[in-house]
Amino acid sequence: MGWTCEGSGAVGIARAAGYHAGMFPCQPRGPFRQAMHPLLTDIRLVTFDLDGTLIDSVPDLAVAVDTALDDLGLPAPGEAKVRDWVGNGSLTLMERALRHAVLQNEAPGTSQRGGPIPGKESVAPRDGVTAPPRWSDTSGLVAGKASRETRGEIDKALLERAHAAFLTHYARDPGSRTRLYPGVREALDGLRGAGYPLALVTNKPEAFIVPILAGFGLAEHFALCLGGDSLPQKKPDPAPLLHVAAHFDVPPAACLMVGDSRHDIAAGRAAGFRTLAVPYGYNHGESVRDSGPDGVVESLAELV
């Protein structure tokens, strides 16, 4: 149920975040820096989203999505499409990719495609992904289709196969194309140096969090991290944020949620957190300002 960057309980979390026993919970060593962003006034805990807020992970996600669909003989959507689908967890990502494949399959003039992407290794023989669906038969892709918008249910077995293939491919290389957004390192270093405990709440599967953060030398910055599978609920449900607040014994009103999408803002608002948005991430083509965050910064460096 999430992970801490040092130890397995309150003592380990406190040590990792720069606390000593007499200060825990959430009383930082020394006063907070006075020149911080006004939204940090009276804030005692800062929680961040990951994808689209701290990192641009779409290039790696897109490769895994494309290769997983190619294993099934389905068209690869490409990076631009995947960028619009990120934010609700890997299962939803693959469901959106399959729906797109159905539309591509039904489009006039679309021809059958098969075989592996050049230079990519197929997982089909190893992971049991066999007998890719033919272009002439999409009945197994969507059950009960109501329109070309594919509002029906994606075949559960096919979705499970596609999701398993995605996880396999993504686990092989979750970070080589992923980049930190400008200002992220400065913000995290500054907040940590000022004594703020930092938490991470993402809908990405928990197993991928440590390898990605460690690749940027940021794993030790976070006292607690929750993935989309750490709890029964995930954003936009407020439960993960409430779990973080309770874990550190900080009132929600003294917590800040920083994210890039309407799901982050909705979760933060429902949990009673103050909310801060960045406009450069993944929000399904919408402006995150429309979600009504308490503040927006162009770069996280503005926090410090």
Q: Mean pLDDT, consecutive 10-residue segments, the chain of 304 residues? A: 45 37 38 73 98 98 97 94 93 95 70 42 44 40 37 82 97 97 98 97 96 97 98 97 98 98 97 98 94 98 97
User: The tokens of 42 are what?
Assistant: 């009276």
Residues 6 or more apart whose CB falls under 8 angstroms from that of 294 comprise 39, 274, 275, 276
Active-site entry in 49, 60, 70, 260: 49
* Ramachandran area for residue 73 (φ above 0: left; ψ -120 to 50: alpha; else beta): left
Q: What is d(CA 7, CA 220) in angstroms, rounded to the nearest whole number?
A: 12
CB distance 67 to 117 below 8 Å: yes
User: What pLDDT is stored for residue 102 in this prediction?
Assistant: 81
- Angstrom distances, CA of residue 71 to CA of 119, 168, 253, 280: 13, 12, 47, 32
> What per-residue confidence (pLDDT) applies to 113?
45
DSSP state for residue 277 in the 8-state scheme? E
Domain annotation for the chain: domains and CATH numbers: 10-57+178-303 (3.40.50.1000), 58-172 (no CATH)
**Which run of H or E residues covers position 295?**
strand 295-296
Q: Spell out the residues 6+ positions from residue 151 whose beta carbon is closer than 8 angstroms to its own.
A: 145
- For residue 3, the 8-state DSSP code is B
Short-list 8, 1, 13, CA closest to 223: 13
Task: Let me know: does 93 contact 52? Beta carbons within 8 Å.
Answer: no
Model pLDDT, residue 107: 62
- Quote the pLDDT of residue 206: 97
Q: Which amino acid is at 59?
A: P
Q: Are 129 and 57 in contact (CB under 8 A)?
A: no
CA distance 248 to 222: 13
Query: What are the Cα distances from residue 88, in Å, to 91, 108, 114, 120, 221?
Result: 8, 31, 29, 26, 24
Q: Catalytic: 49?
A: yes
User: Which two three-digit tokens encode residue 253?
Assistant: 């009103």
- pTM of the full structure: 0.78
